[in-house]
Amino acid sequence: MKRVLITGASSGIGFQLAKDYAQDGWDVIACGRNVANLESLSGIYSNIQVLSFDATDKANTAETLNDVGDLDVIILNAGTCEYINHGRIDVDLFKRVFDINLFGLLNCIEALQDNFSERTHLALMGSTASYLGLPRAEAYGASKAAVAIWLSHWLWILSQRACLFL
């Protein structure tokens, strides 16, 4: 049976993706911070396994994802958006958004990269906000732009090493 790991599965797009993959017969590893929401998924679908962790915590992410085994698809969807009020810069807000949208994603990749194979498909959640400024979403857009730029460099490096398994 095919296996998919989805971060950010406790709400929104990730929650729906977990349901869709489960309904299609995949073994789903649904990851997120909200245990109650994750368990509501596993209560309905016997092919959903729940992993609760905070992707911003590098050690906890590595420990939690250490034994997931072979995966066919990895969907790194965890993210957040916080809004800036009246154009006032709030560095702490930027740090929180970057911590999950960029560094949380990288924590997951670092923890999972030894499981990548020729058949692994890696999907990263992007946003049009990475190239189109949206009102009050400056931190979100900047974090998604950082992911897009990092990914373009990483893919180039992997292609030069002939290990592009994505």
Q: Which H or E run includes 123?
A: strand 121-124
Choice among 21, 45, 131, 140 that is catalytic: 140
Q: For this structure, is 140 an active site residue?
A: yes
What is the DSSP track for 26-86? -EEEEEES-HHHHHHHHHH-TTEEEEE--TT-HHHHHHHHTT----SEEEE------PPST
Residue 131 DSSP code:
T
Q: 18, 41 in Cβ contact below 8 A? A: yes
Residues with a known catalytic role:
140
